[in-house]
Amino acid sequence: MPETDSSIVDLTDVQGIVAQASELFNLIDSDNAFGSITFPSILDRASSISQFVRSLAAGQKDTTGASFEEQLESAETILTALQSSLGGLVDLNKLADLLKDIDSANSKINIPIENAGFEDPAQEDFTFTVEPPPGWDVYDPNDIIPDVTTDDSSATGVFNPSLNNYPGGVPEGDNVGYSFLVDPVGSGEAGLSQTLDTLLAPNTRYTLSVAVGNPTGDDPVPGISFPGFSGYRVELLAGGQVLAVDDNSLHIPEGEFKTSKITYTSSATDTVIGQSLEIRLINLLQGPGIEVDFDDVRLTAKALPVGSKSSHNLSEEHGSLLNPLHPSSNLTLPLGAVDSSSLLG
């Protein structure tokens, strides 16, 4: 087929394709009434069409070298197959609103965490501090960390371990945060906590991931080593209430890190909506090993459709979405260089 300039192709053809994609999206409901048709497969195909249309409107050419007409034919072929699968049923909504809902529902926002990789303060190789890392507080419900900490007392701080401690290195940067407890096993627990500026929002899925380390070898202080593992706990809280927890579920070999991941999905009726989120990283002191290390702390928020029957089902009817960082405002994400509302006139 000869190359065709997009400027001589009627854009109403493109708008027709976009409208059909919008119709098909609105057929997907919470009961998956169409059996084998799954939301992700529909999303992938129609998102590809949406991107194609935005590229055309921006005057961009397909990187595969396909002509404008060939691209149109490809989009039409996909839509024909989808319509056939769905029995030709349609329920038209504007693409602009649809794209906003889809982009918002499938976008995760990274919630700010101060000193999430414990790189502050910078440390020379195989050195450590005995004060809590900047941005973090001591969590010590059993008062086992002294008011004045020393190199060989229980403490929390920042540690730049050697390859003898972690032969594979640390997950992020040079440093880790640590909870070092020399008290007898079973004396209590202690670690690090950080209360965030972000408030718990309704209808939002939160995912907290933390690299948890079991050091091996020797401590920088002569005569101290890291045999065994004392256990860990990772908590996500709001307003002091524990929302989700990983209570020592991972098997972490000596000298390695494993990633702990917990999730919590809020509802509109949660009693702690609007309360500050908090992260706790805890050494359980339930066995030998003395120290637990933490690194690369990440928390994401994903807004879900308001009023959905199940916050885990993204195929439900799209509603307005809330910004988890600012619950009072609608979440609007950029859709690319072209305002998609112009595509439907």
Q: Report residue 81's pLDDT band, with 50, 70 and 90 as the boundaries.
A: low
210 or 109: which carries more pLDDT confidence?
A: 210
What is the residue-averaged pLDDT of the chain?
74
pLDDT of residue 204: 93
Q: What is the 3-state secondary structure (H, E, C) of the chain?
A: CCCCCHHHCCHHHHHHHHHHHHHHHCCCCCCCCCCCCCHHHHHHHHHHHHHHHHHHHCCCCCCCCCCHHHHHHHHHHHHHHHHHHCCCCCCCCCHHHHHHHHHHHCCCEECCCCCCCCCCCCCCCCEECCCCCCCCEEECCCCCCCCCCCCCCCEEEEEECCCCCCCCCCCCCCCEEEEECCCCCCCCCEEEEEEEEEECCCCEEEEEEEEEEECCCECCCCCCECCCCCCEEEEEEECCEEEEEEECCCCCCCCEEEEEEEEEECCCCCCCCCCEEEEEEEECCCCCCCEEEEEEEEEEEEECCCCCCCCCCCCCCCCCCEECCEEEEECCCCCCCCCHHHHHC
Lowest-pLDDT range, 14-23, 171-180, 274-283, 313-322? 313-322
Are 288 and 162 in contact, with CB atoms under 8 Å apart? Answer: no
Indicate the pLDDT class of residue 304, thresholds 50, 70 and 90.
confident
Backbone angles phi, psi at 92, to 5 degrees: -70, 135
Where in the chain are the domains? Answer: 6-106+314-344, 110-303
Q: Token pair for residue 313? A: 């089902």
Q: What is the predicted pLDDT for the residue at 108?
A: 78
Q: Do the strands 256-265 and 176-180 form a parallel or antiparallel pair, or are they unpaired?
A: unpaired
Residue type at 179? S
Give the type of residue at 92.
L
Neighbour-count burial for 85-122, b at 16+ CB within 10 Å, e otherwise: bbeeeeeeebbbebbbbbbbbeeebebebebbbbbeee
pLDDT at 196 over 90: yes
Rounded CA gap, 98 and 106, in Å? 12
CA distances from 110 to 89, 106, 340 (A): 38, 13, 25
C-alpha–C-alpha distance, residues 122 and 115, integer Å: 11
Q: Is the Cβ–Cβ distance between 182 and 154 less than 8 Å?
A: yes
For the domain made up of 110-303, give the CATH fold.
Jelly Rolls (2.60.120)
* 8 Å CB contact between 166 and 205: no
Show Cβ contacts of residue 31 under 8 Å, excluding neighbours closer than 6 positions: none
Residue type, 57: A
In the predicted structure, residue 84 carries a pLDDT above the cut 50: yes
The model's pTM is 0.63
- What is the mean pLDDT of the segment spanning 314-336? 27
Give pLDDT tens digits for 119-163: 999 999 999 999 999 999 999 999 999 999 999 999 999 999 999
Residue 59's contacts (CB-CB under 8 Å, 6 or more residues apart) are: 6
The C-alpha atoms of residue 126 and residue 129 are separated, in whole angstroms, by 11
**More confident: 175 or 312:** 175
